[in-house]
Structure formats: structure tokens, C-alpha cells
Amino acid sequence: MKCLIVAALALLAIPVVAQQQPAQQEPGKKPVAVVNGEVITQEQFDRMYNNLPMPVRSQYEKNGGREAFLQNYLLKRLIVQEAVKKGFDKRTDVKAAVEFARESALFDRYVRDVVAQPVVTEAEIRKFYEDHADNFTHLESVKARHIVIMTNGAGPKPHTKEQALQIIQQIHTDLRSKSIPPPGTDPEVAQRTTLAYFAQAAQQYSEDGTAPNGGEIGWVDRSQGLDPAFADAAFTMKKGTLSGIIETKAGYDLIFVEDKKPAWRESYQDVRPSIREHLLAQHQADVMNLVGKLGGDLQASGKISVYPENLK
């Protein structure tokens, strides 16, 4: 779904040390990360990600997807681990807050999953999924880097158009010569080598804000306002290849495509929880009526003693 803002924590990246995985593992048990010895499995991660509220999850999909959510979660786990290490979880007020949060979570989940079951039917959830297909469809995307030499006096080093073309031609020739691998080179090794040379050249020559990061643009699709000439080139290139010289509105570009993703649609089962949450929010009054009715029935059949004098 396309609304809301991803938390500012998405801007923070926590490096993860690669761990060697066991040769044989049950489905879902493979680690997606290991934080100070604490394993986060695929199953745990999928459960957390799939239970995100629909607007939040949609915003993640537009801003880094599962990788961005993982980085946020790693930051949270590191801070929680630090709190436990310092004994913060043993404080009386923290214990009370944890118990209150547990009770609230149990109440909320029971209301959503049991009490509110009649409010939103399976047919309604399925209809929303089919009627809002665009919300769950992701355009073809590419992960790209670029080197831009700006023209018409723009940029940090003003050039004429002719000067800019001469500079980009020299960079292109140099990269072409370095990116020709020896016969028999593994394609993945060749791609990593070309990427390294490209990133180095971008840091040295590119004239926009991506230069310090090796020209990295990240994942982009055609809906993100790319220059038409840039987009046409990037989306027709093969993964791991270097473009020719492309004239854009900004100047002259070279592109390296690191990876590509075809257009795809999220499965119904993956998005069903978030759709149901969205529809329940639209029927909040109906849910609260059911909660009130259940509470009244339980109060009538239960045994309750109240001592107002002890409230003081």
C-alpha cells in the first residue's frame, strides 16, 4: 500500500557480519542475520515483516523493502540487547511496562483475530486484493550506478558540452579496457571487477551527490521520474554490463546495472494480514460494538469484586 512514512530509523544502516550457514537446515530456519550470537531466522523475519501494518509495509516496499526493515530491526535488537546487558529489564517500572504491553498485545490480538472475525469476511479481503491490484504490483526495477559529467556550465566543475563529452569519452574508454576479463573468467568475478572499477571512477569523476558512494543510485523504477534517456538505457541493459555514453538533460552519463528485477505482484497470502488490518480500521465502530457486547456478557457471567476505597 502506498502511504505513510517509513520511520527515520530506515536511514540508519547496521553492518551485519556474515556467518557460515550449516549445510542442512529446515525450511524457514536459515538465518537472515546473527546479532551478537542471536540468530534471526527466515521464519521469524517473515512473520515480523508480514505482520506490519499495510501502510507501513507498503512504504518499506518503496524504500528498500525487506532489507530496509531488517536494518531497522537490527538496530532495535542491538539496543534491546544493550538494555538487557545493563540490567535495565530488571527495573520495577520496566517490568510493569513489559507486563502491561503483554496484556495489551494479548487483548489487541484476541480482538482482531477472534472477536472481530465476523466483521471482515474472506470474500471482502479477496475483493480488495483484486480491486486494488496496482497497490500490490511492483514495476520492473534496476539497481544501478552512474557517472555523470554535467554540461552547459552546471555542476561543481563547469564544462562546455564539448569538454564534457571529451571527459566522458575518456572515462568510458578507460572503463572498457579494464572491464574486458581474461578468457575463462567466471562471469560473477568479472562483474564484481567491473563494478569495482566503475565505483572508483564514479568517486573520482562523477559530478553529482552519488559520487562519494561510487555513483550508487540503488533500486529504481520508471515511476521515479528518471530522465527518459537514462531510463531507456538502464532498463534495456543486461545485468552486470556497462552502458555506452548517454546524453541526458544533466549532461553525459555512463551506467552500470548491478541487478534487475522483473515486474511482480505480491501474493494474496503475503498481503492478506495487512489488507484485513486496513479493512478492520474502516469498521472500527463495528469492532468496538462487538467488544462492548462481549465485555458485557463476560461481566454478567463473571465474578467481580471492586473495592473503590482502596483506589485512594
pLDDT at residue 275 greater than cutoff 70: yes
Q: How confident is the model over 13-51, as pLDDT tens digits?
A: 333 333 334 444 566 688 999 999 999 999 999 889 888
First-to-final CA distance of the chain: 48
Question: Does residue 54 or residue 129 have the better pLDDT?
Answer: 129
pLDDT at 125: 95
* Distance (Å) of CA 250 to CA 148, 150, 213, 233, 267: 8, 6, 19, 15, 39
Mean pLDDT for the chain? 87
pLDDT at residue 58 greater than cutoff 90: no
Could you give the maximum distance between any two Cα atoms of the chain, in Å?
A: 89
Q: How confident is the model over 112-139, as pLDDT tens digits?
A: 999 999 999 999 999 999 999 988 888 9
Q: How confident is the model over 285-304, as pLDDT tens digits?
A: 999 999 999 999 999 999 99
What are the residue ranges spanned by the domains of the chain?
A: 1-90, 140-262
pLDDT at 59: 85
pLDDT at 282: 93
Mean pLDDT of 102-121: 93
Q: How confident is the model over 247-273, as pLDDT tens digits?
A: 999 999 999 999 999 999 989 998 898
CA atoms within 13 A on the CB side of 139: 12
CATH class of 140-262: alpha beta
Q: What percent of the chain has pLDDT over 70?
A: 91
Q: How confident is the model over 140-190, as pLDDT tens digits?
A: 999 999 999 999 777 778 888 999 999 999 999 999 988 777 777 788 888
pLDDT at 288: 94
Full DSSP string of the chain: ---S---GGGG--------PPPSS--TT-SEEEEETTEEEEHHHHHHHHHTS-HHHHHHHHHTTHHHHHHHHHHHHHHHHHHHHHTTGGGSHHHHHHHHHHHHHHHHHHHIIIIITTTTS-HHHHHHHHHHTGGGGEE--EEEEEEEEEE-TT-SSS---HHHHHHHHHHHHHHHHHHT-PPTT--HHHHHHHHHHHHHHHHHHH--STTGGGTTEEEEEEGGG---HHHHHHHHHSPTT-B---EE-SSEEEEEEEEEEE--EE--HHHHHHHHHHHHHHHTHHHHHHHHHHHHHHHHHHS-----GGGG-
pTM over 0.75: no
pLDDT at 13: 32
